[in-house]
Chains A and B, each alone.
Chain A
Amino acid sequence: MSRQPPVQQPPPVQRVRLRYFKQGPARFASQQDFARAFERALRRAAVPMAYSSGFNPHPRISYSNAVPTGVASLAEYLEIALAQRIDPVSVQASLNRVLPGGFQIMAAVESDGTALAELLTHSAWRIDLGVDATAAVAAFLAADSVVVQRMGKAGLRELDIRAAVVALAADAGALSLRAVTGPGKVVVRPGDIVAGLAVVSPAVVSPGASLALRVAQGVWSDGRVRDPFGPEKLANDAANAGIVANL
Chain B
Amino acid sequence: MTESLFTRLEPLLAQVQKPIQYVGGEVNSQSKDFAAAEVRWALFFPDAYEVGQPNQGMAILYELLNACSSAPMPVGEQGDDDWLLAERTFTIWPDLAKLMRENGVPQFSWESHRPVRDFDVLGVSLSTELGYTNLLETLDLAGIPRYATDRTAADPLVIAGGHAVFNPEPVADFLDAVVLGDGEEAVLRVSALIRDHKRQGDAGREQLLLNLAKSGLVYVPSFYDVSYLPDGRIEAVRPNRPGVPARVGKQVLLELDEWQYPVQPIVPLAETVHERYSVEIFRGCTRGCRFCQAGMVTRPVRERGIQTVGTMVARGLAATGLAEVGLLSLSSADHTEIAGITGQLADRYAGTNVSLSLPSTRVDAFNIDLANELSRNGRRSGLTFAPEGGTDRMRQVINKMVSEDDLIRTVEIAFSQGWRQVKLYFMCGLPTETDEDVLAIAELAFRVIETGRRAANSRDVRCTISIGGFVPKPHTTFQWAGQADAETVNRRVRALKDKVRADRRYGRAITVRYAEGEPGMVEGLLSRGDRRVGKVIEQVWLQGGHFDGWREYFSYQRWLDAAAAVGIDLDWYTTRERSQDEVLPWDHLDLGLDRVWLWQDWVDARNGGEVADCRWAGCYDCGVCPALGVETQIGPTLRSLLPLTAGSEPVSV
Contact = CB atoms under 8 A, between A and B. Distances in A.
A36 B271 contact: yes
Contact of A36 (B18, B275, B376, B379): B275
B321 A42 contact: yes
Interface string A174-198: 0000000000000000000000000
Given A30-B20, A98-B321, A51 B353 contact: yes
A164 B270 CA distance: 32
Contact of B321 (A3, A30, A40): A40
B321 A28 contact: no
A101 interface: yes
A70 B19 contact: yes
A25 B25 contact: yes
B322 A209 contact: no
A98 B25 contact: no
B351 interface: yes
A56 B378 CA distance: 7
Contacts of B20: 26, 28-30, 33, 69
A4 interface: yes
Contacts of B644: none
Contact of B23 (A1, A26, A44, A98): A26
Nearest to A3: B418
Contact of A55 (B11, B25, B379): B379
B380 interface: yes
B166 to A, nearest CB: 36
A25 B373 CA distance: 42
Interface of B: 6, 10-11, 13-14, 18-20, 22-27, 267, 269-271, 275, 317-323, 351, 353, 369, 372-373, 376-380, 417-418, 647
Contacts of A26: 20, 23, 25, 269
Contacts of B25: 25-26, 100-102
Contacts of A237: none
A3 B27 contact: no
Given A28-B23, A33-B271, 9 more contacts: A1-B369, A4-B376, A4-B377, A29-B20, A29-B269, A44-B321, A69-B20, A70-B14, A100-B269
Contact of B351 (A3, A7, A41, A44): A7
13 contacts: A1-B373, A3-B418, A33-B270, A36-B269, A37-B27, A37-B267, A39-B321, A41-B321, A70-B13, A100-B27, A100-B269, A102-B25, A209-B11
Interface magnitude class on chain A = 20 to 34
Nearest to A54: B379
A29 B26 CA distance: 11
Residue among B10, B323, B377, B418 facing the most chain A CB atoms (10 A cut-off): B377
Interface string A84-119: 000000000000001011100000000000000000
A11 interface: no
Given A25-B25, A28-B20, A1 B321 contact: no
A25 B23 contact: yes
Given A1-B372, A33-B20, A44-B318, A98 B27 contact: yes
A32 B271 contact: yes
Interface in A158-217: 209
Contacts of B270: 29, 33
A6 interface: yes
A43 B351 contact: no
A40 B377 contact: no
Given A25-B23, A28-B19, A102-B25, A33 B378 contact: no
B272 to A, nearest CB: 10
A102 B647 CA distance: 27
Contacts of B13: 28, 70
A29 B591 CA distance: 44
A46 interface: yes
Given A28-B23, A30-B20, A209 B269 contact: no
Interface in A53-93: 55-57, 69-70
Contacts of B380: 3
B353 A100 contact: no
A102 to B, nearest CB: 7
Nearest to A6: B377
Contacts of B323: 39-40, 43
A44 B320 CA distance: 7
Nearest to A55: B379
Nearest to B375: A3
A33 B14 CA distance: 16
A40 B320 contact: yes
Contact of B26 (A32, A34, A57, A100): A100
A170 to B, nearest CB: 22
B647 to A, nearest CB: 7
A102 B493 CA distance: 51
Contacts of A56: 378
Contacts of A102: 25
A1 B372 CA distance: 7
A138 to B, nearest CB: 27
A193 B23 CA distance: 27
A102 B23 CA distance: 11
Contacts of A101: 25
A208 B632 CA distance: 62
Given A28-B23, A37-B267, A102-B25, A46 B377 contact: no
A3 B377 CA distance: 7
B321 A7 contact: no
Contacts of B271: 32-33, 36
A35 to B, nearest CB: 11
A145 B269 CA distance: 39
B269 A1 contact: no
Residue among B14, B24, B418 facing the most chain A CB atoms (10 A cut-off): B14
B386 to A, nearest CB: 23
Contacts of A6: 377
Nearest to B15: A207
Interface string A221-238: 000000000000000000
Contacts of A70: 13-14, 19
Nearest to B9: A25
Interface in A1-40: 1, 3-4, 6-7, 25-26, 28-30, 32-34, 36-37, 39-40
Contacts of B321: 39-44, 98
A37 B377 CA distance: 25
A23 to B, nearest CB: 12
Contacts of B18: 30
A7 B267 CA distance: 28
A9 B511 CA distance: 36
Contacts of B320: 40, 44
A211 B27 CA distance: 25
A64 to B, nearest CB: 20
A7 B322 CA distance: 20
Interface string A107-139: 000000000000000000000000000000000
A172 to B, nearest CB: 26
A83 B438 CA distance: 55
B110 to A, nearest CB: 11
A171 B23 CA distance: 30
Contacts of B11: 209
Nearest to B318: A44
The 7 closest A-B pairs by CB, nearest first: A40-B321, A25-B23, A43-B321, A44-B321, A28-B19, A28-B20, A29-B20
B561 to A, nearest CB: 35
A39 B26 CA distance: 15
A57 B353 contact: yes
Contacts of B418: 3
Contacts of A28: 13, 19-20, 22-23
Contacts of B269: 26, 29, 33-34, 36-37, 100
A218 B379 CA distance: 42
A48 B24 CA distance: 29
A218 to B, nearest CB: 27
